[in-house]
């Protein structure tokens, strides 16, 4: 017997999704992908001179000692770790032990019917309601039933209908629409 009442429903939906061949676009998922503006800490164990904190530049790269520019845009921390590992192992270090962690996320943006629209520091676990609070709350014309999140890179952003409980990711643009009545 399934312990969670929705477990069977979730299993059926997952099965149907696999059968239909449909997938969730990568930029709509909540798995975090590194992008410009993030700061990562790369630790090369036993090699303090190669370790450090790196801000991802506008081209999605970090510059590291010996291996130079490493493209990390749209990679997870595990994928980044593997890429740095492979680069150091290719003629520089034997069996490098690498760790990668995000220490500062790029900001998110909130626009529309909030009292203080703009750019705000991202906090892990943030939802739309938290974002609205950071933006000074909704104006009297704000429509909490008409919220969307623009997610993805500038070249391929998608609009996701949102509720107050929808998770916000770094780089997202949260738009609060105006209600008319």
The answer to whether residue 3 scores a pLDDT higher than 50 is no
Q: What structural domains does the chain harbor?
A: 39-104 (3.30.1950.10), 108-178 (3.10.560.10)
Q: Are strands 61-64 and 118-120 parallel, antiparallel or unpaired?
A: unpaired
The answer to whether residue 106 scores a pLDDT higher than 60 is yes
Q: Residue 170 is encoded by which pair of tokens?
A: 């770094």
**DSSP tally for the chain: helices H, then strands E:** 3, 10
What does the pLDDT read at residue 116?
Answer: 98
Distance CA 145, CA 131 (A): 15
118-122 long-range contacts, Cβ below 8 Å, gap at least 24? 122/168, 122/169, 122/170
Q: Residue 28 is encoded by which pair of tokens?
A: 């709509």
Taking the model in full, what pTM does it have?
A: 0.72
**pLDDT mean over 114-129:** 96
Distance CA 167, CA 153 (A): 17
What does the pLDDT read at residue 28?
Answer: 45
pLDDT in tens, 32-43: 899 999 999 999
Distance CA 73, CA 46 (A): 26
pLDDT in tens, 143-175: 999 999 999 877 788 999 999 999 999 999 999
């Amino acid at each position: 017997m399934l312990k969670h009442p929705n477990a069977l429903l979730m299993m059926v939906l997952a099965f149907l999704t696999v059968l239909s061949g449909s997938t969730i676009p990568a930029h709509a998922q909540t798995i975090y992908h590194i992008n410009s503006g993030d700061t990562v800490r790369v630790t090369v164990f036993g090699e303090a001179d190669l370790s450090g904190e790196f801000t991802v530049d506008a081209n999605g790269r970090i510059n590291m000692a010996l291996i130079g520019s490493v493209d990390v845009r749209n990679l997870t921390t595990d994928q980044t770790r593997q890429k740095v590992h492979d680069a150091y192992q290719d003629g520089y270090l034997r069996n490098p032990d690498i760790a990668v962690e995000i220490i500062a996320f790029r900001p998110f943006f909130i626009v529309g019917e909030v009292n203080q629209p703009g750019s705000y520091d991202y906090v892990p676990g943030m939802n739309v309601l938290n974002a609205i609070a950071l933006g000074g709350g909704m104006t009297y014309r704000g429509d909490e039933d008409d919220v969307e999140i623009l997610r993805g890179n500038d070249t391929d952003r998608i609009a996701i209908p949102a509720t107050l409980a929808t998770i916000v990711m770094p780089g997202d643009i949260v738009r609060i629409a105006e209600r008319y009545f």
